[in-house]
């Protein structure tokens, strides 16, 4: 074939292809192309039910303003136009267009106003004529082709005509007809997709891709402005020079919403800054204020943003437009609220409490599973491989990293903020957590903060524990999604499953080697008994998470046998679809025993509750090798785990929006602060509007309505705000001072009683003063304080416990009972020994049998809880110490819940209306620590003598006596110095000398409550001695 013939054939093929393509494009629904060009006149589409909303996720998919095919308008919904009024401006100069028209536009639920002069209409009309001509030219670029194809069928229609009469010649009596002409002109333009979707039209009517997103709330003023760089209140972000040379001016599209402003880059459509409305929000205009001709300055707690307009009147319009809109729709954000909080008090908010992480983790997992758009997580520590539902009966389905990966694959955006620890001081390996999560999917973004060197923050931590789903459900409390946290009301000490220890040393070493090897080379938990290898088809539905069995050392030989026996067993019982061996075990009743304490069945067999690093005792040994999640690091056959007692909560609706706002403020601040996060792959986050907060797509079961306020500790280093906030501290003081009957506190620390030298928070003083007030008024008043028996630092208490542990003990004792500043010191000065009628300090302890030996361990109280009078509760991440309370130090988050629903109850022997939320939480806490049931009538009245003395104090004293008798526990009142400590631990224990008698004694124990030993090491100086590394750090680290 000749070259010419070949060329001819190729050309005809191309023509055919082109014809086919154009036919396909003709027949395509334009919505599939994301091209908003309905080819019918919009008058036909007036059915509001047919309106298609723009999803909130569109904020992550913005395009350049001139790119064709971006969805701006609600499809199937007309834009209605009304010219409301004409203002005539008089001027000394002769102005060709003295009239300003206020135009009201309505599109679906959105109503907004723009102000335009007649000359603007003329310029706009000329631009549309140019565009009409330009579209007819077949320029061979992709974007132009798309633009032409989007209007092909309708062909450019006849443009409506603009009145020709010059503005200056129009008399006032003709204004109404001129208004009608302009109204008709704009209405006709907006009916034609070709012109309506043109970027010039959008600019003229003041709309953008983010104008009509339902969850962003009502539409405010929008338009192009020039903005000046700088103005951040963050150390190190402003230019060192003060002169004009240092500023850059950039053209941006400014968008005003009800609780924030933002601007976008016109070329890419990227959101390049978000400014939240807060109590410092203020707008100024004028050269004097802004150092800029026609300048506009917008201030908030984080930034002073300077904009430039093209005339003084233009600046006035912007100021008026922003000011009126924010005052109308966002006034809640402009004022400081109760306790100095950034967040308003939200009534009728659904809330729920959690005692211990089992139920908390389950509800968090279910809420994540229901997420449609966003998941926000911030933790002091996050372990990607933890199981959220236990026992594990569905393979890896409910493992945290698997949930997040699954949701990211479904298109949900996941944003995680982790505390970046000082690695020498802490071993939580946030770098490993970040790397693991980021590798799962591009929709998962992880930031760590602070950068210790650049921010010069070495001592303070991000301590909040938040999970927020779609900005409408927010979990707030003390529980990190991390190892060691999962526990239930049993607070078990042991977790060996039914893996029997082999009698010979050789087979023992084989089994532990198998487990360790399997753990290191796989992403799954090795749930197999000794000698049985996991089968990937048995264990996994999800090939992504299947282990590479070929890499597992020492598990090769018995494979044939295991495949034969397990698979046959599964078929026999009709369970071959189970995800893992543990699901079989949990369904069979064999090997299930009943717990003596609460009657909850314990699952035995292959099931374990705590896998690998999750089985821990951090006073015995801190975590190591976190990058090997399923390898044990303490021997579960000799060392009991340390149970974890904790409290959390969930709130919905407006309060959840407030929690999300705090997360967004921190995320956006960190994005600006750290250069590595300034790229577009880490987007700015936008807060959803409070006006849509009542539309709950998902609701946590069993939540009750209450009045909720979000409170926090935040400062310049943690959230980029000018003034620090300590609303948690103020709320604690207020609730204590105003309490009438009792206060119940559970906290990880108890460091207070201000001396204004070392300790500054006043919570301990408020407690002492409230008790003295009750004494003076001769009224009953009770204070219950439950804290851990020892601080949570690695150290052998039998040798004194180590410097860090002793330093915290020093400050805890200084608050409770040692020195004149302590609570008991303040009370004894006025009431003598009668303090015992008002306040009780306790810890929690339990016992178990491990490999035939009796063992005991304290229960680590990690809660941050205050309940007052069965009607007010504070749950959060803030400890009772200066770090958490002062606001300038650690960042914290909490909620104060006040009941609106009440139930009949008793208080101090009298009938009383108790709050549903507060009372049910107190009863659950009492049930857990005292044993018994939620409905125990003895627990009903927390103030009467019968309960306080005969139940609470008597149980704590009896339990403590029995534990001392059986185990000779530490800390103990019998040990006042280190010499006595050596003597104390050398004496024999009943648990080893006579286990049968010891077991009989232990049966008398009720619950976990034990008296706190006030005299432990009271003769020793517990602060770090000179020369130790702990003595080199500032005292604020411990307080």
Q: To the nearest 5 percent, what fractions of the chain are helix, strand and coil? A: 35, 20, 45
732 is written with which tokens? 């604690």
> Phi and psi dihedrals of 989, rounded to 5?
-110, 145
Q: How far apart are CA 800 and CA 805, in angstroms?
A: 9
Q: How far apart are CA 36 and CA 768, in angstroms?
A: 68
Omega prior to 853 cis, within 30 of 0: no
Catalytic residue at 662?
Answer: no
35 is written with which tokens? 């091209």
Which uninterrupted H or E stretch holds 725? strand 725-726
Q: Residues 916, 920, 922, 927: what is their CA dihedral angle, to the nearest 10 degrees?
A: 160
Nearest to 479 by CA among 685, 734, 746, 664: 746
Residue located via tokens 């106003």: 113
237 is written with which tokens? 């972000």
**Degrees to nearest 5, angle at CA 520 with 516 and 526:** 60
Catalytic residue at 463?
Answer: yes
Omega prior to 450 cis, within 30 of 0: yes
Q: How far apart are CA 100 and CA 313, in angstroms?
A: 11
The answer to whether 113 touches 83, Cβ cutoff 8 Å, is no
Q: What is the Rg, in whole angstroms, of the alpha carbon atoms belonging to the chain?
A: 34
Catalytic residue among 611, 864, 890, 941: 864
179 contacts: CB under 8 Å, gap ≥ 6: 83, 86, 101
The answer to whether 912 touches 905, Cβ cutoff 8 Å, is yes
Catalytic residue among 632, 716, 869, 890: 869
The answer to whether 384 touches 400, Cβ cutoff 8 Å, is yes
What distance lies between CA 545 and its chain's CA centroid? Answer: 26
Catalytic residue at 117?
Answer: no
Q: Residues 1007, 1012, 1017, 1022: what is their CA dihedral angle, to the nearest 10 degrees?
A: 110
Q: Tell me the HSE value of 586 on the side-chain side, using a 13 A CA sphere.
A: 18
Catalytic residue among 299, 363, 470, 941: 470
Catalytic residue at 465?
Answer: yes
771 is written with which tokens? 């008790």
936 contacts: CB under 8 Å, gap ≥ 6: 923, 926, 927, 930
What distance lies between CA 275 and its chain's CA centroid? Answer: 20
Q: How far apart are CA 17 and CA 567, in angstroms?
A: 55
Q: How far apart are CA 800 and CA 843, in angstroms?
A: 19
Burial of 158 (0-12, 13-18, 19+ CB in 10 A): exposed
DSSP, collapsed to helix, strand or coil, labels residue 940 as coil
Nearest to 844 by CA among 747, 977, 917, 966: 747
DSSP, collapsed to helix, strand or coil, labels residue 959 as helix
783 is written with which tokens? 């204070």
Nearest to 344 by CA among 723, 690, 738, 692: 690
Q: How far apart are CA 740 and CA 773, in angstroms?
A: 10
**Degrees to nearest 5, angle at CA 746 with 1012 and 823:** 55
**Degrees to nearest 5, angle at CA 1014 with 1012 and 1015:** 135
Catalytic residue among 107, 862, 882, 899: 862
Between the alpha carbon of residue 109 and those of residues 217, 218, 689, 900, the distances in Å are 10, 8, 14, 33
321 contacts: CB under 8 Å, gap ≥ 6: 113, 220, 221, 256
Catalytic residue at 215?
Answer: no
Catalytic residue at 568?
Answer: no
DSSP, collapsed to helix, strand or coil, labels residue 972 as coil
Between the alpha carbon of residue 525 and those of residues 385, 522, 539, 557, 684, the distances in Å are 9, 8, 10, 20, 37
Q: Which residues are catalytic?
A: 463, 465, 470, 862, 864, 869
């Amino acid at each position: 074939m000749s070259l010419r013939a070949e060329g001819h054939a190729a050309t005809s093929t191309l023509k055919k292809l082109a014809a086919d393509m154009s036919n396909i494009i003709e027949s395509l629904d334009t919505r599939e192309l994301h091209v908003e060009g309905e080819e019918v006149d919009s008058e036909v589409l007036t059915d509001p039910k047919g309106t298609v909303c723009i999803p909130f996720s569109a904020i992550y998919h913005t395009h350049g303003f001139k790119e064709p095919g971006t969805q701006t308008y609600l499809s199937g919904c007309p834009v209605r136009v009304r010219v409301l009024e004409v203002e005539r401006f008089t001027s000394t100069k002769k102005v060709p267009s003295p009239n300003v028209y206020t135009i009201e536009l309505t599109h679906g639920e959105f109503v907004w106003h723009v102000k335009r002069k007649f000359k603007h209409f003329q310029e706009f009309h000329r631009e549309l004529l140019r565009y009409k001509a330009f579209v007819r030219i077949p320029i061979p670029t992709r974007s132009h082709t798309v633009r032409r194809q989007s209007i092909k069928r309708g062909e450019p229609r006849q443009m409506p005509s603009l009145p020709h009469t010059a503005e200056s010649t129009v008399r006032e009596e003709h204004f109404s007809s001129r208004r009608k002409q302009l109204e008709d002109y704009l209405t006709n333009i907006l009916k034609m997709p070709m012109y309506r979707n043109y970027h010039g039209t959008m600019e003229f009517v003041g709309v953008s891709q983010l104008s009509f997103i339902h969850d962003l709330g009502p539409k405010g003023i929008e338009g192009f402005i020039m903005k000046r760089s700088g103005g951040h209140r963050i150390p190190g972000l402003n230019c060192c020079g003060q002169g004009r040379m240092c500023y850059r001016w950039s053209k941006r599209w400014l968008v005003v919403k009800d609780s924030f402003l933002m601007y976008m880059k016109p070329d890419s459509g990227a959101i390049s800054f978000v400014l939240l409305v807060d109590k410092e929000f203020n707008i100024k205009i004028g050269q004097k204020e802004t150092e800029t001709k026609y300048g506009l300055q917008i201030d908030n707690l984080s930034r002073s943003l300077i904009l430039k307009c093209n005339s003084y009147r233009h600046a006035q319009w912007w100021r008026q437009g922003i000011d009126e809109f924010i005052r109308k729709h966002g006034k809640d954000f402009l004022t400081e609220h109760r306790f100095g909080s950034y967040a308003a008090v939200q009534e009728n908010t659904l809330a729920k409490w959690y005692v211990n992480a089992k139920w908390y983790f389950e509800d968090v997992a279910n809420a994540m599973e229901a997420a449609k758009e966003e998941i926000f997580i911030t933790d002091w520590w996050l372990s990607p491989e933890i199981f959220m539902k236990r026992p594990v009966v569905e393979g890896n389905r409910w493992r945290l990293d698997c949930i997040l990966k699954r949701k990211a694959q479904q298109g949900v955006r996941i944003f995680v903020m982790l505390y970046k620890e000082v690695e020498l001081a802490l071993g939580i390996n946030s770098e490993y957590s970040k790397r693991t999560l980021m590798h799962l999917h591009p929709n998962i973004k992880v930031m760590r903060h602070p950068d210790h060197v650049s921010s010069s923050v070495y001592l303070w931590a991000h301590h909040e524990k938040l999970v927020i789903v779609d900005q409408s459900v927010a979990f707030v409390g003390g529980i990190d999604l991390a190892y060691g946290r999962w526990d239930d009301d049993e607070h078990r000490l042991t977790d060996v499953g039914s893996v029997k220890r082999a009698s010979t040393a050789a087979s023992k070493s084989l089994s532990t080697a198998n487990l360790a090897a399997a753990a290191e080379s796989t992403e799954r938990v090795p749930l197999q008994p000794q000698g049985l290898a996991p089968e990937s088809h048995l264990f996994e539905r999800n090939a992504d998470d299947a282990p590479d069995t070929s890499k597992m050392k020492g598990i090769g030989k018995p494979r044939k046998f295991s495949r034969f026996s397990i698979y046959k067993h599964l078929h026999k019982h009709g369970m071959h679809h189970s995800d893992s061996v543990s699901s079989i075990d949990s369904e069979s009743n064999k090997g299930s025993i009943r717990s003596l304490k609460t009657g909850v069945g314990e699952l035995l067999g292959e099931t374990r509750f705590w896998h690998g690093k999750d089985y821990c005792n951090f006073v015995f040994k801190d975590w190591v090798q976190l990058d090997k999640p399923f390898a044990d690091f303490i021997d579960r056959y000799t060392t009991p785990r340390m149970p974890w007692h904790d409290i959390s909560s969930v709130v919905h609706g407006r309060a959840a929006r407030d929690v999300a706002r705090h997360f967004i403020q921190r995320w956006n601040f960190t994005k600006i602060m750290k250069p590595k996060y300034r790229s577009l792959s880490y987007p700015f986050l936008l807060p959803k509007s409070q006006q849509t907060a009542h539309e709950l797509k998902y609701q946590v079961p069993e939540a009750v309505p209450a009045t909720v306020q979000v409170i926090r500790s935040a400062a310049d280093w943690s959230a980029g705000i000018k003034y620090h906030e300590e609303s948690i501290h103020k709320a604690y003081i207020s609730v204590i001072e105003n309490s009438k009957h009792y206060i119940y506190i559970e906290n990880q620390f108890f460091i207070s009683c201000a001396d204004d030298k070392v300790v500054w928070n006043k919570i301990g003083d408020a407690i002492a003063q409230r008790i003295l007030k009750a004494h003076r008024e001769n009224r009953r008043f009770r204070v219950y304080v439950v804290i851990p028996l020892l601080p949570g630092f690695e150290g052998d208490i039998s040798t004194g416990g180590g410097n860090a542990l002793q330093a915290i003990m020093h400050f805890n004792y200084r608050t409770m009972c040692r020195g004149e500043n302590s609570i008991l010191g303040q009370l004894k000065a006025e009431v003598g020994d009668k303090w015992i009628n008002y306040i009780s300090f306790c810890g929690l302890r339990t016992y178990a049998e491990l490999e035939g030996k009796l063992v005991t361990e304290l229960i680590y109280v990690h809660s941050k809880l205050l309940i007052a009078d069965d009607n007010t509760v504070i749950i959060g991440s803030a400890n009772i110490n200066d770090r958490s309370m002062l606001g300038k130090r650690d960042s914290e988050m909490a909620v104060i819940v006040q009941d609106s629903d009440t139930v009949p109850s008793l208080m101090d022997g009298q009938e009383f209306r108790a709050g549903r939320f507060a009372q049910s939480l107190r009863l659950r806490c009492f049930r857990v620590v005292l044993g018994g049931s939620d409905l125990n009538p003895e627990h009903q009245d927390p103030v009467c003598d019968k309960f306080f003395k005969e139940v609470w104090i008597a149980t704590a004293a009896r339990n403590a006596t029995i534990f001392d008798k059986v185990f000779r526990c530490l800390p103990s009142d019998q040990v006042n110095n280190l010499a006595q400590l050596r003597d104390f631990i050398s004496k024999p224990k009943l648990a080893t000398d006579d286990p049968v008698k010891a077991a009989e004694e232990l049966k008398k124990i009720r619950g976990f409550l034990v008296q706190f030993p006030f005299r432990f090491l009271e003769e020793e100086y517990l602060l770090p001695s000179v020369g130790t590394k702990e003595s080199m750090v500032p005292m604020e680290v411990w307080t």
